[in-house]
Structure 1
Amino acid sequence: MSKSRESTTVDVVVVGAGFSGLSAADRLVSMGLSVQVVEGRDRVGGRVLTGEVAGVPVDFGGTWVSPRHTAIRELAARFGCTITPQFADGRNTLWMAGRRRTYKGTIPPVSPFAVVNMARVQMALEKLVGTIDAEAAWKSPNAEELDAISFGQWLGQQRAGTPTRALMNVVSRVQWGASPDDISMLAVLGYIRGAGGFDHMLDVENGMQQDRITETTQEIAQRVATHLGDRVLLSAPARRIVQDRSGVTVHTDAMTIAAKYAIVTTATMHRKDIAFEPALPERAVSLSKLWRLGGLSKAYVAYETPFWRKDGVSGEAISDTGAVFITFDVGPEDGPGILLGFCDPGLFDGFDPENRRRRVIQQMVELYGPQAGNPIDYVDHCWLEEEFGAGGPNPALPPFALTSYATALTEPHGRVEWAGTETAAESSGCMNGAVVTGQQAAERVAERIGKESGK
């Protein structure tokens, strides 16, 4: 990775060194084009980041890969990273209405009425998912009607019972970092369609949480960046992108890059932070203001051993109260035991570190018993405090956002192409979506360069 230089000239400049930007650069280099990647952070990876608890590397950001996520799997394998199955043996845990119980399966059977109610609501949801245009949700039948209401309003229309709404609230917070009342129903349906269905979105076995990267997901990004070498420049946020008929010039805090084309892979909400000349169309500016990421934080608690496994408990839990709303067992097979908790920023981020730790451990005791009160280590990460890409993995899109502005999501701005997991139709918000869109943007730019050069 390169140090600061005053200026350089390349075929393509890539803004952002997350999976999308790195994949775009990697693909362009493989096609014989010269590339410069600029990244505002002092590290690569974007919304993937490695932390450590009890001496074990853990993922503060993107964590899991599905069997369907072939692009990120191929990238990991190519750079020598391996797969670890997500531990899911045993019974899951539910804390609801002040009561703890365990269960098998994806959806907890709270009561016979709740089971019937949940099944009916899920069936109605999946029926609507089947009507969604897989490539452009805003082109679906009844798109405007579905985009005019929130997920929460739709649940009300379906007469979702209290347990069903509580479970859907957990789903909404972990997937979109917001409550059902804040998310467009069309956005929910489009995401579920791109994720491969409701069950695939939630499941461990054969689902989106099936596997983890043994070396952590950021390690893949670091190895790709090492492969690219001086083509990656850190601590160089793009401030201005100027273009004319012959090329683009990207101005950063560290250097100026002249190129034939630019690929911008930043989180969509950061497009408005770059001065474009000529300016972005009004619709594109509005897009970047509305396409804000939801909030999500993570906490890891480590123990001498994964004691819950001896009790036949999986470490996967759902809670309807407190800061932690879902947990997973992410410890190595030979110990220590490590529980990951997804946390609601509104009930978590505003507290000091010791208070956050106390609140998380208290919930672990409620879920897993007195032994959970004696951890050997703790660490957390609040994503809303990040300067770049602050929030969770997905945008929390309000009603009307998709039908009003989504066409600007991928529409090129002259010589500027867009990429990033938010632009993906399939596996949006996932690392796989980032890799795929980066590679696709690289191929589009390479084709445009080829046409201009007569090749």
Structure 2
Amino acid sequence: MSGSREPGTEVDVVVVGAGFAGLSAAERLVSTGRSVLVLEGRDRVGGRSLSGEVAGVKVDLGATWVARRHTAVRDLASRVGCTTTDQFAQGRNVLWMAGRRRTYSGTIPKVSPAALVDMARMQAAVNKLVATIDVNAAWETPGASRLDAVSFGEWLDRKNALPSTRALMTVISKVQWGCTPGDVSLLHALRYIRSAGGLDHMLDVDGGQQQDRIVETTQEIAKRVAERLGDRVRLDTPVRRITQDDKSGVTVRTDSGEIRARYAIVTAAPAHRAAIEFDPALPERADGLARAWRMGVLSKAFVAYETPFWRADGCSGEAVTDTGTVFITFDVSPAAGGPGVLMAFCDPRVFDAFSLEARRDRVVEQLADLYGPRALSPIDYMDHCWGAEPFAPGGPNPAVAPYATYSFGKALAEPHGLVHWAGTETAGEWAGTMNGAVLTGQRAAERVAALLSGDVRAEALR
């Protein structure tokens, strides 16, 4: 009933969102003795982490990898009993470009001497700009307005990038931001590359961001944290309105009633903040952030075979292609004996609108181009379209167009009265990763805990 308040719904802190940021914030607050309630609009925890199963193998439909340097999420995984396994990367990678299939070793495809020289030139140009970026406040970087006035794609054009270099940068853009280079600002792209530890760390498997996977899946980490929090986590409870005043704290309204708290931590992605009504209203910059920082869109497919047959052919299962539905693949098979499982990143523009059967056919046919006719005989298939999610759709990260980072970026983590923000987008280092989400949740919790301690001291002096 609207306006009603259930017993036990007065807490120190309400956390909005049960992804890695929200659960980490709640866990940290509980450890300080604070009462917490986590409200999640979905029917599950994990946010952009979601488990699936193909041929009896658990797979990550969303967030997948952890780097060695992702110590926060690795520590969290270890504490709840989840384990890591190396991302398989032995053998030669496959490149399909301009209608031709090649194989190569290493991170960057070796198309031709001229293409290699051009790719090295563009990497150097990117790295030079990345070095100037303030990772904690990219909008305050010298020349930020200029960097934000052009798209990543326009910059590549101005630098006369060769088609092969442009194709590889397009793959990077699709994986990182769920869009093409022309849809994301140069400043936003540079910010994420800097936060990822540089272009090499962003792209590499061995020693890079694709170093390890979670055996139990990344969502299992969130599930186990939520189990520890118990009835402090409420699912199917979208937040509709947050009202606040300095004297009585915040009132959070959901479809089932109201919750009173002294502070709120909102972990929704910037675009999804717009689904919540705030009273008092968000400042202009924060409101603009919610409107301008739209989410990218990405889809994933998993195709299972009796064995990872591509390994016998000397292939790693990693492929990059410049055409079709699939644009990159990885081998996520549990063992050499099988089943063999290929994970394929798919372009939603030529994927999401089709039936499950048509999507399967498109992916399988393209895998046959990459790995041969044995790819035409899978034993299982599944996919997930993040743009079609019924609640908080999109991912993996915001696809922020020119001007929006410089204009609105400061509002990412700037508190709105008693409302504090967390979520991977608000991170400096490791923005866009689960590690960034964990760190921001912990930091927001620590800030709010310190404020609560100040409140307690003030009340004691009255």
How far apart, in 2, do the equivalents of 1:145 and 1:48 lie?
A: 35
Question: In the alignment, residue 6 of structure 1 is paired with which amino acid?
Answer: E
Match of 1:319 in 2: 321
Match of 1:386 in 2: 389
Match of 2:103 in 1: 102
TM-score normalised according to structure 2 size: 0.97
Residues 60-113 of structure 1 deviation map (CA, whole Å, 9 limit, x = unaligned)? 010000011000000000000000110000000000011101000101011111
Q: 1:388-427 to 2 correspondence within 5 Å?
A: 388-427=391-430
Question: In the alignment, residue 212 of structure 1 is paired with which amino acid?
Answer: R
Residues 266-312 of structure 1 deviation map (CA, whole Å, 9 limit, x = unaligned)? 11111111111111112211110111111100000000000000111
Q: 1:216-295 to 2 correspondence within 5 Å?
A: 216-246=217-247, 247-295=249-297
Q: Is the 8 A contact 1:393 1:430 kept in 2?
A: no
How far apart, in 2, do the equivalents of 1:349 and 1:250 lie?
A: 35
Match of 1:79 in 2: 80
Question: In the alignment, residue 220 of structure 1 is paired with which amino acid?
Answer: I
Which SS does the other structure have where 1:260 is aligned?
Answer: strand
Question: In the alignment, residue 219 of structure 1 is paired with which amino acid?
Answer: E
Which SS does the other structure have where 1:215 is aligned?
Answer: coil
Match of 1:438 in 2: 441
How far apart, in 1, do the equivalents of 2:6 and 2:53 lie?
A: 36
How far apart, in 2, do the equivalents of 1:59 and 1:253 lie?
A: 31
Question: In the alignment, residue 35 of structure 2 is paired with which amino acid?
Answer: S
Which SS does the other structure have where 1:395 is aligned?
Answer: coil
Which SS does the other structure have where 1:433 is aligned?
Answer: helix
Question: In the alignment, residue 249 of structure 1 is paired with which amino acid?
Answer: T
Which SS does the other structure have where 2:274 is aligned?
Answer: helix
How far apart, in 1, do the equivalents of 2:447 and 2:159 lie?
A: 43
Q: Is the 8 A contact 2:5 2:259 kept in 1?
A: no
TM-score normalised according to structure 1 size: 0.98
Match of 1:89 in 2: 90
Deviation at 1:374, TM superposition (A): 0.3
How far apart, in 1, do the equivalents of 2:132 and 2:61 lie?
A: 35
Distance 1:39 1:5, change over 3 A: farther
Deviation at 1:5, TM superposition (A): 7.8
How far apart, in 2, do the equivalents of 1:161 and 1:103 lie?
A: 19
Match of 2:64 in 1: 63
How far apart, in 1, do the equivalents of 2:114 and 2:69 lie?
A: 34
Deviation at 1:132, TM superposition (A): 0.8
Match of 1:298 in 2: 300
Deviation at 1:255, TM superposition (A): 3.2
How far apart, in 1, do the equivalents of 2:254 and 2:19 lie?
A: 17
Could you list the structure 1 runs, at least 4 aligned residues long, displaced by more than 4 angstroms after superposition. none
Match of 2:196 in 1: 195
For the aligned residues, what is the CA RMSD? 1.1
How far apart, in 2, do the equivalents of 1:383 and 1:237 lie?
A: 19
Which SS does the other structure have where 2:59 is aligned?
Answer: strand
Deviation at 1:6, TM superposition (A): 2.6
Identity between Structure 1 and Structure 2 (%): 66
Q: Any gaps of 5 or more consecutive residues in structure 2?
A: none
How far apart, in 1, do the equivalents of 2:30 and 2:239 lie?
A: 21
Deviation at 1:196, TM superposition (A): 0.1
* Number of residue pairs matched by the alignment: 452
From 356, 362, 366, give the equivalent of 2:365. Answer: 362
Which SS does the other structure have where 1:273 is aligned?
Answer: coil
How far apart, in 2, do the equivalents of 1:62 and 1:26 lie?
A: 21
Q: Is the 8 A contact 1:47 1:389 kept in 2?
A: no
Match of 1:375 in 2: 378
How far apart, in 1, do the equivalents of 2:166 and 2:193 lie?
A: 17
Deviation at 1:388, TM superposition (A): 2.7
Match of 2:214 in 1: 213
Question: In the alignment, residue 221 of structure 1 is paired with which amino acid?
Answer: A
How far apart, in 1, do the equivalents of 2:406 and 2:155 lie?
A: 17
Q: 1:52-201 to 2 correspondence within 5 Å?
A: 52-201=53-202
Q: Is the 8 A contact 1:177 1:296 kept in 2?
A: yes
